Amino acid sequence: MRPIPPLIARWASLGPVAEAVRRAGRGAPLGGGPLAATLGAAVGAGVYGAAGLAACVSVAVTAWRGLAQPGVALAFGAFVAVGELVRTALPGDREQAPLGSAGALAYALLGPDQGRATSHGVFQVVAVAWVGGLVGLVPHLVRRRLPDPAVHARRLLVVLFIAVLFQPLYDSGTLDALGVRGPLYGLFLAACAALAAICDVLLAAVLRYCRAGCRTAFGRTLRDEVKALLGIGSAIVATGMVMAVAVGEVGLWALPLFSVPLLLTQASFGRYAAVRATQWQTVRSLARASEVAGYTLPGHARRVADLARLTGRELGLGERDLRILEQAALMHDLGQLSLVDAVPGGATVILAEDEQRRIAELGSEVVLRTGASAEIAEVAEIVARQAEPYRPGPHRSAPPLAARIIRAANAFADLTAEEELERGAAVGAAVGTAVGAGGGTGVIGAGGAQERLADRLEVLERLRLRSAREFDPRVVEALARVCTRS
């Protein structure tokens, strides 16, 4: 057994905390240390706690006061429930109930109902949105499809925020006193809807940032959520505002009438998500081709992809960049299918640089044949250049960051697999000797976890020593943080 030096052990336990403090001080991603985990858990718990408190207080106050305009409240509650029932999965690992969100927003912005003034107030708006969403969740819970609590917490807090902005001004007659009617009333509703969108984006970014362990830069996470809002989020906000105006003119018939365009938009996004899911299945199938053919070890592509994704997140990559990085990492070894003789253990890191580059370019050609989209072309370029060193020379530019990440992750996976195979052979010989001598095997494998950690630290040190030319030092350090945490 190779002992781990006390200094390394102490660094492994205290290093993440110091790193998190340094990163927080300069506005970088916090990383996955205890400070980041504590901060993320505290913020997430605060958001969920605020949503739960708002729901409980609103239901209690509404039950005590009684429902104002019960027919309108039941109609909007049923609409939210139906919208929750037909929720859909969206690209980017998101789940959304567009109809339910639009209905809750419309009720928060509802002034008159067919020309008659309403007086439901803030608490009833939140109570109806929460109870309607809860009723719509029952069929999903029966089928054991657990909802994402972040979606419901966000919606409840956004509805509360907009109801606080609009309902007191309407109920008190302040809007009429200020002459906010006609086009000005429409502009005021549009401003409230825009604030709802901003609030939702900020909450979504905060929750996603905390869920990622504060390892992705918050600004990049915020940009990802803004891009997501420009999709179906903008349709939800516009539909909610139009419904609020239309109910004031034509009554509750506006709810099913104006839900049709949003339903069609939801169906389009659902089909897009299905196409993306099919593309991922194709990528996973291609990734296993080299394993099934015996050119790489079982699970190697998945392991490299996981390491690459975690390292990319550690470096602050956004959602789209992480998706492309993972696809390229899964398919980085496809070029090995062109080899006559398989590389021992599939470890391309032991090959000459020209051979590595040839294998990568052949794999890139295979990737290009899977589609003609810009994303596929970007993945193919990353696959082609992941065999190039960090400093390729005076006549070539440095490979993209994703390619540098895959190169480091693949080398780490190859070298640690080599260490484990050597240790497994030694353990097998020791077991054979012990059995032949009639001895027990109880002590064989003691301290295996320490052996694996020592192997990882040794491989990371080898990568650091080669970072002068072959590996990006920043990538190697991010990979080291990922590997010493896991």
Q: Please provide residue 187's backbone torsions phi and psi, each rounded to the nearest 5 degrees.
A: -65, -35
CB atoms within 10 A of CB 353: 12
Q: Token match 């960090």: residue?
A: 390
Task: Tell which CATH classification among 3.40.109.40, 3.40.720.10, 3.50.50.60, 1.10.3210.10 matches the domain 288-430+445-485.
Answer: 1.10.3210.10
Q: Per the structure block, which two tokens stand in for 238?
A: 């516009």
Provide the pLDDT for residue 268.
81
C-alpha to C-alpha distance for 315 and 217, rounded to whole angstroms? 8
What b/e sequence results for 428-452 when a residue is b if at least 16 CB atoms lie within 10 Å of its CB, and e otherwise? Answer: eeeeeeeeeeeeeeeeeeeeeeebe
Structure tokens at 341: 């003789």
Nearest Cα neighbor of 255 from 152, 62, 114 is: 114
In this structure, what token pair is assigned to residue 336? 């090995």
Contact indicator for 111, 122 with CB cutoff of 8 Å: no
Structure tokens at 148: 């994402």
Find out whether 486 and 415 touch, Cβ atoms under 8 Å. Answer: no
Q: What is the pLDDT of residue 108?
A: 93
Q: Which residues have a Cβ under 8 Å from the Cβ of 128 and sit 6 or more positions away?
A: 62, 73, 76, 77, 80, 104, 107, 120
Q: What is the pLDDT of residue 295?
A: 76
Beta bridge partners of 88: 96
- Per-domain residue ranges of the chain: 26-280, 288-430+445-485
How far is it, in rounded angstroms, from Cα 255 to Cα 459? 62
Contact 251, 114 (CB under 8 A): yes
Please tell me the distance from the alpha carbon of residue 318 to that of residue 219, in angstroms, as a whole number: 9
- Among 118, 119, 124, CA closest to 104: 124
- Kindly report the backbone phi and psi dihedral angles of residue 452, in degrees, each rounded to the nearest multiple of 5, phi listed first: -65, -40
Show Cβ contacts of residue 306 under 8 Å, excluding neighbours closer than 6 positions.
none
**Ramachandran quadrant class, 115 (left: phi over 0; alpha: psi -120 to 50; beta: rest):** left
Residue 455, token pair as written in the block = 């192997």
Encode the chain (486 residues) as per-residue pLDDT tens digits. Answer: 344 444 333 333 333 334 443 444 444 444 455 555 566 677 778 888 899 999 999 999 999 998 888 999 999 999 999 988 887 766 656 667 888 889 999 999 998 888 888 888 899 999 999 999 899 888 888 887 777 777 888 889 999 999 999 999 998 888 888 888 888 888 998 899 889 888 888 888 888 777 766 666 677 778 878 877 777 788 888 889 899 989 988 888 888 888 888 888 888 877 877 777 777 777 777 777 777 777 778 888 888 999 999 898 888 787 788 888 988 888 888 888 777 677 776 667 777 778 888 888 888 888 877 766 777 888 888 888 888 888 766 667 778 899 999 998 988 888 887 665 555 544 444 434 443 444 444 444 445 566 666 777 888 888 888 877 788 888 988 888 888 775
d(CA 481, CA 471): 16
Which of 260, 197, 207 has its CA nearest to residue 229? 197
Grouping H, G, I as helix, E, B as strand and the rest as coil, residue 225 is helix
Quote the CA–CA distance of 251 and 31 in Å, as a whole number: 52
Supply the pLDDT for residue 162. 93
Q: At what angle do helices 319-330 and 374-385 cross, to 10 degrees?
A: 60
> What pTM did the predictor assign?
0.71
Instruction: Return the beta strands (E) in 171-292 as ranges.
Output: none
Closest alpha carbon to 110 in 128, 135, 96? 128
Per-residue tokens: 342: 């398989």
